[in-house]
Structures are given as structure tokens and as C-alpha cells.
Structure 1
Amino acid sequence: MQEIEIVVAHRERTTVRVGDVFLKIDADPGRSDVEVAAMNLAPVPTPEVLWHQPPVLALAALPGRALGRLGELSTTPPTAWAAAGAAVRVLHDAPLPPWPGRSLDELAARLAGECGWLVANGVLPTDLVARNRHVAEAALRQWTPVFTHGDLQVAHVFVDGDEVTGVLDWSEASRGDALFDLATLTLGHEEHLGDVLAGYGADVDLDVIRGWWSWRSLVAIRWLTEHGFDPAAPGCEVDVLRARM
């Protein structure tokens, strides 16, 4: 008899695996609508949609393994990281999705709000927050929108050898900043940024990449804490912020 594996579970979403099928249950059916639409548009490998009946989305398992995990040393070879960078470039060169992304004002307001919360509640030292807020502000500039994944965590990219076999979790896909995707992919794995950029094949502003590392870490801590995750675990968001000091 096949067992049910809980992949992730919190108040917003739950994902379970039964054999080679993943069932995603989302409190916001609009997110799964975006996910299906984005996977239909994306010119990179994605999971097969078996069926979609909100609030449940059934997806086939991807071959291979995740490129890495936040907080864990990646044993994936540099060539696989470069292949991931090449796949991201294909996505960014694709036609824009028809729906917009978050505005610069929204991103700046979220950064300000989360920094205020972190300091007011004594979650992080004031100087750590202030330094990383300053670093993050480098990312808050005008950019040319591209088709972005929007949540391109290293665990969402699957590889088999040097081949990208699929990219998961497209519910945050939208028009956005290309460097946000690159920063998200390398968050906590800064040693592989050069490999990713070699595959991506374009010059990027490293200060902006570092800015998005700080932005994403600062704005994630409250959500992670409230949903049962530990951003202070070794190699995770708090360590990313400390590295900027």
C-alpha cells in the first residue's frame, strides 16, 4: 500500500505526495489558477498537470532531484547550476505573461513594514536590520519586466545530471525583475552564483543581486516564523543577513 507523504503543510497551503502524484491544496484558488496558466506559458520543463479542481491541483512527480536545499550544502555539480541558469534565461527571454507583477512601491512598502516589525518586536538586532535594509534598497530601482518565476527557490528546480528536468511552484509567476529570480535561486548558495551566471549568459549588477538577497530574507522572517519554519537555522535567512555585515 502506498503511503501519504506530507511535503509541506501550513495555514495557506498543503502539499502531499501519493506515489508519483503530488496534490496541492491552496486556501487561495487564485494561486493555483496562476500556477496552471504560468506552466502552460513557460518555455521550460514543468510538472504535468494531471487535473485541477480548485482548491486542489494534481501534478505528476518530476524526474531527478532538487538542485539543492536552503540551509544544506549542495552536492550538485557546477554544471547543473549552470544548466539552471540557462533555463532561467530561456524563461526571461520568453513573451511576458498577461498579468502584472508587484509594483516598485509595493515592494518598498513591504520592506519598510517588515523591517519595522523586526525591530519593534526585537526579532533581530537593529544594526543588522538597518544594514540589510540599506543593501536591499539597491534592488528597488526601475527594471525592464521579464517573465519571472517569482519564487525560484533552489528546491524548486529539479535536475538529472546536467539537465534541468523541471521547475516547480509557479503560483508567484508574473512580470518582474530578472535579477530577483537569479537572487532567489542562489539565496544561501552564494558560492554557486558564478555558475548560475555562466549559464545565464549575461552581465548582471551584483549589488542588485545582494540587494534581493537582503530584501527576500528581511521580508520572509515574519511569515516563516508564523508558519512553523525557522529562519535562524544554519544557512537560512538570518545567516544570509549576517553575511551582509
Structure 2
Amino acid sequence: MDEVKVVVAHSERATLRVGDVFLKIDADQTRIDVEVEAMSLAPVPTPKVLWREPPVLALAAVTGTALGRLGEPSPASPAAWAAAGAAVRRLHDAPLPPWRGRSREAFEADLDRECAWLIADGVLPTDLVTRNREIAAAALRPWTPVFTHGDLQITHVFVDGDDAITGVIDWSEASQGDALFDLANLTLGHEEHLDDVLAGYGTDVDRDVIQGWWSLRSLSVIRWLVEHGFDPSAPGCEVDVLRARM
């Protein structure tokens, strides 16, 4: 019998792996609804839905290996990163999903609240927070909505060799959103691969906006990461991303 491996577990959701099956358990069934529908609409490889019995969603494992991990050098080639950029472009060119994503105002309100907490509780130096808040302002501009993954971490993109994207996983945050938010999430902590991703994406983008999303995302998630047992100060992770902007 295959042993059960805990992939991730916290108070909101858990993912278990048993052989080639992933079992996702989520307290919020809306996220599962979004994930299932988004995977059915996305024009990129996604996991196969095996069955669903709330609160559990069973998915088949995708082949290949993850593009990398935050805080570690990526084993993937520049061509693989470019292939990821091309896959993201196909997603962004697809028809919009029928549900809206977070507004610019919501991102800004969350950012201001988290920056205030980071400074008031002495979690990060004031000058580090203030400088990155200034950089994050570039992301807070009007954007034309596209079909976004919404949580496009490198651990969610699987490749086989140099140019085959075998699967994109974890679609619970998919929505109408800013294309550059996806590109920033994909390259967070791996800025050296931004040129490769953009070569595959195939169009010019505003790099100041991508840097703004790097700062905004890192500032906004530190409290959540700490409260759920993750370490944003680990080498190469969110705090280092913020320090790189100084």
C-alpha cells in the first residue's frame, strides 16, 4: 500500500498524496469550485479530476518536475522557463473566466494593513517596509483583466525536459486579474529567469510593475506565512526579496 504523504497542511486546507493521487481537503468549498471550473477552462495542461466528494477533491498527479522552489536554485533550463512563459501567455489570451478577481483597491487596503502591522510589531525595519511600499505602488494601477492563475508559484508549474509544460496545478485563486501579477508570482525569488519567461511570453511588459508586484506580494503575505508555520525569512524567500529592492 502506498504511504500517505502530507504535501501541505494548515488550518485552511490540506493536501495529501497517496501514490499518484492527490487529495485536497478545503474548508472553503468555493475555492474547490473555482479550481475545478478553472481547470476545465484553462488552455494549458492541468491535473485530471478523478472524483469529488466534499470536502475532498481527488486529482491525478501530473508528470514531470516542478520548475523549482522558492529559496533554492532552479534546476530547470532557460528553455523550460521560456516554455512556462509561453504557457502563461496562452492562459492570458484565453477567454475570461466568468468570475471577477480582487480589485486594485482591495490589494491596496491589504497592503496598507500589512505594512502597518509589520512596522508596529517590529517584524521588519521601517525603512525596508517603507521603501518596498513605495515600489509596490507601481503595481497599483488600472489593468485590463485577463484569465489569471492567481497563485502561479514555481512549485505549481511542472516541466519535462526543456520545452514541455506537463501541468499547472493549484487553481483555487484563478480569476480575472492582472497579467503581470502572474508573471511576478512565477519569477518571485528567481529574478534571474525573468528574461527567459518574457522571451516565452512574447511581448514587452513594464518591469517596474513586476517589481511592484514582487514587493506587494512579499509584504502582504508575511503575517499569513508566519501564522501558518512557514518561514518568510528563510534564504531566498520573501524577506530576501524585499531586501533585494533596497
TM over 0.5: yes
Q: Secondary structure at the match of 2:150?
A: coil
Q: Secondary structure at the match of 1:105?
A: helix
The number of residues matched between the two structures is 245
Q: Which residue is 1:200 aligned to?
A: 201
Q: Which residue is 2:234 aligned to?
A: 233
| TM-score, length basis structure 2 | 0.99
Q: Which residue is 2:165 aligned to?
A: 164
Structure 1 position 94 matched with structure 2 position 84:
no
RMSD: 0.5
Residues 181-240 of structure 1, C-alpha deviation per residue, up to 9 Å, x if partnerless? 000000000000000000000000000000000000000100000000000000000000
Residues 114-162 of structure 1, C-alpha deviation per residue, up to 9 Å, x if partnerless? 0001001100000000000000010000010000000000000000012
State how far apart, in whole Å, the 1-side matches of 2:233 and 2:191 are: 17
State how far apart, in whole Å, the 2-side matches of 1:167 and 1:147 are: 14
State how far apart, in whole Å, the 2-side matches of 1:138 and 1:113 are: 18
Q: Secondary structure at the match of 1:225?
A: helix
Residue type matched to 1:138 in 2? A
Which portions of structure 1, spanning 4 or more consecutive aligned residues, are displaced by more than 6 angstroms? none
State how far apart, in whole Å, the 2-side matches of 1:103 and 1:75 are: 35
Q: Which residue is 2:124 aligned to?
A: 124
State how far apart, in whole Å, the 2-side matches of 1:48 and 1:75 are: 26
Q: Which residue is 1:60 aligned to?
A: 60
| TM-score, length basis structure 1 | 0.99
Q: Structure 2, unaligned stretches of length 5 or more?
A: none
What's the offset of the Cα at 1:90?
0.1
Q: Which residue is 2:191 aligned to?
A: 190
Residues 38-57 of structure 1, C-alpha deviation per residue, up to 9 Å, x if partnerless? 00000000000001122111
State how far apart, in whole Å, the 2-side matches of 1:30 and 1:234 are: 34
State how far apart, in whole Å, the 2-side matches of 1:53 and 1:83 are: 34
Q: Which residue is 1:78 aligned to?
A: 78
Q: Which residue is 2:4 aligned to?
A: 4
Greater mean alpha carbon deviation, residues 203-212 or residues 52-61: 52-61
State how far apart, in whole Å, the 1-side matches of 2:8 and 2:147 are: 26
State how far apart, in whole Å, the 2-side matches of 1:27 and 1:133 are: 32
Residues 75-132 of structure 1, C-alpha deviation per residue, up to 9 Å, x if partnerless? 1100000000000000000000000011111011000000001001100000000000
Residue type matched to 1:83 in 2? A
Q: Structure 1, unaligned stretches of length 5 or more?
A: none
Q: Which residue is 1:134 aligned to?
A: 134
State how far apart, in whole Å, the 1-side matches of 2:195 and 2:174 are: 24
State how far apart, in whole Å, the 2-side matches of 1:65 and 1:124 are: 34
Q: Secondary structure at the match of 1:39?
A: helix
State how far apart, in whole Å, the 1-side matches of 2:53 and 2:117 are: 37
Residue type matched to 2:175 in 1? S
Residue type matched to 1:116 in 2? A
Q: Identity percentage over the alignment? A: 77
Residues 168-191 of structure 1, C-alpha deviation per residue, up to 9 Å, x if partnerless? 000000000000000000000000
State how far apart, in whole Å, the 1-side matches of 2:186 and 2:148 are: 12
